[in-house]
Amino acid sequence: MEIAVLGWGVVGGGMIKLIDEAKTPLLKQLHVKRVLIHRPEKAVDDRCTTDINEILNDPEISIVCECIGGLEPAHEYAKKALEKGKHVVTANKKMLATFASELFDLARQKDLTIGYEACVGGGIPWIANLERIKRLEPVEAFQGILNGTSNYILSQMEQKGAGFAECLKKAQELGYAESDPSDDIDGHDVCYKVVLSALTAFDQAVDPKEVPTFGIRHLTKEDFAFAKGQGRTIKLIGQGRKTAEGVSLQVLPVMVKADSLLGSVSLNFNAGKTWSKSLGPAAFVGQGAGSFPTAHAAVQDLLDILEANSPVAAFEPAENQAGDKQTFYVRSQKISVFASVTQEKVSDDAIVTKPLTIDEIGQLLKAAKDEDLFLAGIEDD
Amino acid sequence: MEIAVLGWGVVGGGMIKLIDEAKTPLLKQLHVKRVLIHRPEKAVDDRCTTDINEILNDPEISIVCECIGGLEPAHEYAKKALEKGKHVVTANKKMLATFASELFDLARQKDLTIGYEACVGGGIPWIANLERIKRLEPVEAFQGILNGTSNYILSQMEQKGAGFAECLKKAQELGYAESDPSDDIDGHDVCYKVVLSALTAFDQAVDPKEVPTFGIRHLTKEDFAFAKGQGRTIKLIGQGRKTAEGVSLQVLPVMVKADSLLGSVSLNFNAGKTWSKSLGPAAFVGQGAGSFPTAHAAVQDLLDILEANSPVAAFEPAENQAGDKQTFYVRSQKISVFASVTQEKVSDDAIVTKPLTIDEIGQLLKAAKDEDLFLAGIEDD
């Protein structure tokens, strides 16, 4: 089966290497015919082209692997590939979460597959295992550590007692964080992954903009010290849950028990946990990022298409629900705004709240207008 | 698709309930036509029969689910079902590990599937994920906490500082341990699971009798205290590894770091970890036992057969290799036998050894002839 890879970068390059050096009979059935690159002087071999039409108009190419990143032209190329009758595999969670309804509608019309295992959880077979559970029974909820960069920073802060800025700098030096790390540390990257997980698990497509999303940018050593004093650590958790009315998604730093499974997931590792009736809780842990684990996931999508074993995601647009009440930790220079919901005073500028919905705490955050505020959930005992 | 379930016990009963109350369109395609029971007065409905031939001779029945347990007649029934052209799904790790070559040869001749997801790791999709990795690249090694009973006992000893006998009694009261718990606490149950995992991961079938197998029966509070003092906890670990000559399998209590992933797997949960080149380390954690998680795994096998998506295991008989040198903890009344391999004296009757192969330590254990001896591996830092 002939494929084309768009972008010879971290993920695209990993895919090309895995396929070129195929180790198994099944993988040897795949062949990279074309690679879209941006600048002609970067051509590595004669498969490289700077002209997308050479790929789109080639009837031999059955699958287009989009590894460019960003919204455009990634979205345009994915759409055109589907229009031309080609399956699409992508590692681009932002693009796919943003244009999910349009692209999956098109794929269903054309009886094509969009493979997106590489979008969520790096090498963890997360999407495949959600699909597997769903064959048998509904997935009731999921929760995950889905961003390697922020988890690396959090685990450094925990182990070394270091400050946020110092740990971010270290992550950037190691290549775990980009020069503009906003998407990773402000939770947006996790938000896209939660949207794609929910679409898989619940058949419900929520607009990423509607998902309450809080990051770790304003986390301090003091916040961490409070968590540690409670036998907890802080993890950036994306989660989704079925509610009576629909689904409730959120992205939030959470103080989890240090000796719990999610509490033990350190460095740039990712983890995903599912709940369903007969299986109970199940968890998947692995490399959250990096060229080869992510490329491995994308190539697994190719093998599923090769084996004609890819369910086409079917879902409906859904509004996000506020979900259950939770207890929050809030640190703010304007902590008095939270007086009416305070359950326990932690320090002069930090409190633990009574149980509130995420919408209720959101209203108070708006009222506080404190750009340095830090918010975390506190996991039930 | 019509199926028959042999045995209306914990797993068989769970399967029947999941299928009778099917929640998804795919699962609704399965129908339990017959259930083999032992005593006619136990018949729950008119699907029950005490005559295996009513099942074997029914051409409508495509899959036989063996949930009887024990070696015979489970083995005889599985073999006859294959001879009659029926797929077999089983939760019986002892039977399948013991008769693997015979049964899989027969299945391959007849182009049939033997599903054994329920044999290893309870509800964890362990076998399926080993198969998934193997599509793309060789699995290099695996390691797992594969027995819920022993893990429950170990986690009680860790958390409560209680003795082995007391924790075993508690596990029996809760129904986690059988009245004769030998297979669970002496490591034999894990041994069968390691053999089946290796057969899947490495295409090599090792005779269970050849796998060095050590259990937790003689573990004391003092052994646990030593581990704790090192920031470690004790887990019963089954593992397999490719070596230059073949494969090396072993079952052994191991002192693992308390804050590692395997160290955090508590109560009756199971975990399996894999290593492969591009994916790196990946781990799967879930309910290790119980009616519904295990039944869930068996029903997933049925759905794979329904979707014609079951690779037929192909493997060769293999001898077990001694593998790499490891460091061991040994406590014995005859500790002087180990003088020549002692690296560190822990107490009057306990030592840490120099790195040795499992065969080398095995020779010394034979020489010691101490029935109360406790042996554990010490995981590298």
End-to-end Cα distance, chain A? 51
Give the pLDDT confidence score for residue B179 in this predicted structure: 84
Question: Taking residues A350-379, what's their average pLDDT?
Answer: 96
Rounded Cα–Cα distance for residues A124 and A120 (Å): 8
Cβ of residue A27 closer than 8 Å to a chain B Cβ: yes
Cα torsion angle, B335, B339, B344, B348, sign: positive
Nearest to A300 by CA among B284, B134, B275: B134
Phi, psi (deg, nearest 5) at residue B164: -60, -50
Collect all residues of chain A within an 8 Å Cβ-Cβ radius of residue B287: 279-282
Question: 3-class SS at B203?
Answer: coil
Give which of B93, B258, B280 is closest to B187, Cα–Cα: B93
In single-letter form, the type of residue at position A342 comes to T
Q: What spatial distance separates the first Cα and last Cα of chain B, rounded to whole Å?
A: 51
Q: Does residue A10 sit at the B interface (CB-CB below 8 Å)?
A: no
The pLDDT, as a whole number, for residue B58 is 98
Was domain B2-115 assigned CATH 3.40.50.720?
yes
Mean pLDDT for chain A? 95
Interface residue A270 vs chain B (CB under 8 A): no
Report yes or no for ipTM above 0.85: yes
Beta-strand pair A269-276/B48-49: unpaired
| Alpha-carbon dihedral sign for residues A147, A150, A156, A158 | negative
- SS3 state at A56: helix
> Exposed (0-12), middle (13-18) or buried (19+): which is B193, by Cβ within 10 Å?
buried
Question: β-strand A247-257 against A374-378: which pairing, if any?
Answer: parallel
Could you read off the pLDDT of B150-179 as tens digits, one per residue?
999 999 999 898 999 999 999 999 888 888
Tell me which residues of chain A, numbers 49 to 78, contact chain B at a CB-CB cutoff of 8 Å: none
Least confident of A60-74, A204-218, A304-318, B228-242: A304-318
Is residue A273 among the annotated active site residues?
A: no
For A31, A139, A248, B83, B329, the CA distances from A142, given in Å and listed in that order, are 35, 8, 11, 43, 40
Supply the pLDDT for residue B336.
Answer: 96
CATH placement of domain A138-285+318-378: 3.30.360.10
User: What local confidence, expressed as pLDDT, does residue B348 receive?
Assistant: 96
The answer to whether A2-115 and A138-285+318-378 have equal CATH topology is: no
Dihedrals phi, psi of A50, to nearest 5 degrees: -105, 5
Sequence spans of domains, chain A: 2-115, 138-285+318-378
Q: How many residues does chain A have?
A: 381
Mean pLDDT of chain B: 95
**pLDDT at site A176:** 82
Peptide bond into A73 cis (omega under 30): yes
Q: Residue A135 and residue B26: Cβ atoms within 8 Å?
A: yes
Query: By mean pLDDT, which of A94-108, A277-291, B65-79 is the weakest?
Result: A277-291
CA distance A240 to A194: 7
Q: Quick one: tokens of B205?
A: 């079938």
Question: CATH for B126-286+317-378?
Answer: 3.30.360.10
What's the CA dihedral at A362, A365, A367, A368 to 10 degrees? 170
Chain B residues lying within 8 Å of A142, measured CB to CB: none
Summarize chain B as % helix, strand, coil (round to 5): 40, 25, 35
Q: Do residue B285 and residue A283 have CB atoms under 8 angstroms apart?
A: yes
The total number of residues written for chain B in this structure: 381
Q: Tens digits of per-residue pLDDT, A144-201?
A: 999 999 999 999 999 898 999 999 999 999 888 888 899 999 999 999 999 999 999 9
> Per-residue pLDDT for A290 more than 90?
no
DSSP for A213-256, please give it.
Answer: B--STT--HHHHHHHHHTTEEEEEEEEEEE-SSSEEEEEEEEEE
